[in-house]
Amino acid sequence: MNSNKIREQFINYFKKNKHKVFESSSLWPQDDPSVLLTIAGMQQFKPFFMGILNPEKELQSTSIASVQRCFRTSDIEEVGDKIHNTFFEMLGNFSFGQYFKDEAIKLAWNFLIKKLKINKKFLWTTYFKGEKGLKKDIETFEVWQKYIDGEKIIGFGKKENWWGPPGKTGPCGPSSEIHYDLTGQPCQKGNLCKPNCQCGRFIELWNLVFMQYHINSKGTLNKLPKNNIDTGLGLERLAMILQKKDNIFATDLFNDLVNTIIIDKSFGNSNDYEDVIRSRIAADHMKGSVFLLADNVYFSNKEQGYVLRKIFRRALDQYLHSNVNLENIVDSVCETYKKTYPHLIKKKQNILSSLQKELNAYKKVLEIDVNEIVSKINKLKHQTKRLALKGPSSRKLTAQEAFVIYSTYGLSPERLKRKGFTFDDESFKKLIIKHQQLSRDNTNNKFGGHGLNSKEWSNEDRQKIIRLHTATHLLHQALRDVLGLNVKQQGSDINPERLRFDFEHSEKLTDDEKQKIENIVNEKIKQNLPVTKKEMKYLDAIKDGALAFFKEKYPEIVNVYSVGQYSKELCGGPHVKNSGEIGSFKIISEKSSSSGIRRIKSIVK
């Protein structure tokens, strides 16, 4: 069964079983600052699990199904084996207080056995056996006994059979997994060879999560208002089984891409085992890069953009040299997914040109020669008052040195290792996290107005920044009024001279659009609207329609600034008291800042 058919079967089955079908949300979660990327189908429905939004009112249904594109960096080191990937699709069904364990298990079982005709002798299941004050999930064990022999229903602890939340806080609960027995043969462990055995006999297929709890930032577990269901079935793994392949890369979701990569003259010999692994890593990461770019992530050294840079450069690291045929790669991904994700086709040219630019940037990095790096490191060691090392021993780096090389020259940790350098991975990762935190704080400072404390600015400058800041809020709302709700903030910077605002939008603004936006802002200024501040819970604020800079991580309690009834936005302030104080507003430039992102600069007088 090809993968288009599998998706279709899943959707039709759940439609027949009274589920409303929802489109996949973006890989870049637009209204959930607790995570960088979408890792599960449940994410776009989080407020419904938490009882914050009413599914009947907002979704006109309490039972939902979707095919969600997901991206997980947690498995990145495993990519190259038979079953792991970073980008994948999750088939999921969700219930917000509608049905629970009994029905969820029945639905899953019947789909596999009756609809897909999978032989039940290959299926095993797991349940939560209790841990640290959390009760054994005896109900689930009992329900499974209606379908499967007791010795194939195995209990595990929290590590295996508890899911969520994605991020630090949110809904979570005990889970039950359906595993497929690939070989029917126990490994040398004999009877101890069961689901979750590392021997490769079992593959986890479907995770049924019984979302009963919410965990807050202090780690306290509270019962959710309702018992919910969140399930996730991995499309690539299901395709592997239904298409009788030995690994996910041989399914129709990967086959063409892997072949494209192997045919590329800059790749190795497809028969060599090492090269097989390299072709899989390249295929997975190239596909992930295409999908991230299609969801408007752009290359950078921070957050989502850093993930994109890392996987794309890691894909390139698999090639023998850098004459990679990116056009064939993008073509292949678009061809495979065009029916399910037509947005890829629309963005194809943008994706290709972003990849090409990043490839060129990386080529420059790769041209840096080893000797030059060694001498730079030595200089660095000298600067930090450590003895300069000579010869091969200088290839032993501290994590800090590796990080400086990475952040200054863009040489990825993988490349650095390939060039024979060694350093401590864990400390390196910690530095990356610290770096991300710092850049986040800088953004907060600039935009939250704390930049006002800068010593270089006079009182007059500060007043100007405050006026520009309120004008930015009006501009944000006016952009959405004129260009549509897909306009989303991507960044902002204010100095006494001007404001700068980056936002997601694919086309150049026409003169007419710019004029309209300018008119709206000036109109709102003239109306002398009061600017007010309210403290709210983050989720209540979003529910209330407040705009947020979704790349930002917000605390649980936030400030919401409103300009009359016109604009409402999460922000640290400060702002003017009345829009009339802004003066007159003018757009001085509008241009592209990166692929799919426009940049406006404006002044106030």
Q: Report d(CA 174, CA 266) in Å as an integer.
A: 47
Number of chain positions touching ligand SER (CB under 6 A): 10
Q: Which string of x and - marks every residue 80-99 that binds ligand SER (by CB under 6 A)?
A: ------------x-------
Give min distance, CB of 51 to ligand SER, in A.
Answer: 18
Q: By CB under 6 A, which span of 126-134, 151-159, 224-232, 253-261 interacts with ligand SER?
A: 224-232
Residue 510 per-residue DSSP state: P
Judged by CB under 6 A, the stretch of 229-237, 254-262, 325-333, 467-475 that binds ligand SER is 229-237
Contact 172, 50 (CB under 8 A): no
Q: Distances from the Cα of 598 to the Cαs of 36, 199, 345, 487, 489, in angstroms? A: 22, 50, 21, 10, 10
Strand intervals (E) in 133-263: 153-156, 162-163, 170-181, 202-215, 221-234
Instruction: Pick the closest to residue 175 from 121, 131, 217, 133 (CA basis).
Output: 131
Asked if residue 451 binds ligand SER (CB under 6 A), the reply is no
Give residue number: closest CB to ligand SER: 232
Q: Shortest approach of ligand SER to residue 428 CB, angstroms?
A: 28
Continuous segment of H or E residues that includes residue 585:
strand 585-594
Binds ligand SER by CB under 6 A, chosen from 66, 176, 231, 562: 231
CB of 41: closest distance to ligand SER in angstroms? 5
Run of H or E including 337: helix 326-337
* Terminal C-alpha separation, the chain: 65
Q: Is the dihedral of CA 351, 355, 356, 358 positive or negative?
A: positive
Write the binding mask 22 to 41 for ligand SER: x where contact by CB under 6 A, - elsewhere. ------------------xx
Q: Which amino acid is at 64?
A: I
Rounded to a whole number of angstroms, the minimum distance from the CB of residue 231 to ligand SER is: 5
Nearer to ligand SER, 231 or 260 (CB): 231
Our CB check for ligand SER shows the closer of 40 and 224 to be 40
CB 399 within 8 A of CB 416: no
Q: Within 10 A of 332 (CB to CB), how many other CB atoms are there? A: 22
According to DSSP, residue 395 is labeled: G
| DSSP 8-state secondary structure symbol assigned to residue 488 | -
Q: Identify the residue among 49, 163, 421, 501 touching ligand SER (CB under 6 A).
A: 163
CB of 94 to ligand SER, least distance (A): 8
- Which of the ranges 128-136, 228-236, 338-346, 502-510 carries the binding residues for ligand SER, by CB under 6 A? 228-236
Closest approach of Cβ 222 to ligand SER, in Å?
19
The neighbour count for residue 45, using CB atoms within 10 Å, is: 26
> Which of 164/449 has CB closer to ligand SER?
164
Which string of x and - marks every residue 293-332 that binds ligand SER (by CB under 6 A)?
----------------------------------------
Nearer to ligand SER, 172 or 283 (CB): 172
For the chain, helix (H) and strand (E) counts, in that order, are 19, 16
What lies within 8 Å, CB to CB, of 12 at 6+ separation is none
Alpha carbon distance 90, 30 (integer Å): 19
- When the beta carbons of 177 and 317 are compared against ligand SER, the nearer one is 177
Nearer to ligand SER, 89 or 275 (CB): 89
Compare residues 74 and 459 and give the one whose CB is closer to ligand SER.
74
What are residue 202's DSSP bridge partners?
Answer: 181
- Least separation in angstroms between residue 24's CB and ligand SER is 13
- For residues 173 to 212, the per-residue mask of contacts with ligand SER, x marking binding by CB under 6 A and - elsewhere, is ----------------------------------x-x---
List residues near ligand SER by CB under 6 A: 40-42, 92, 163, 207, 209, 230-232
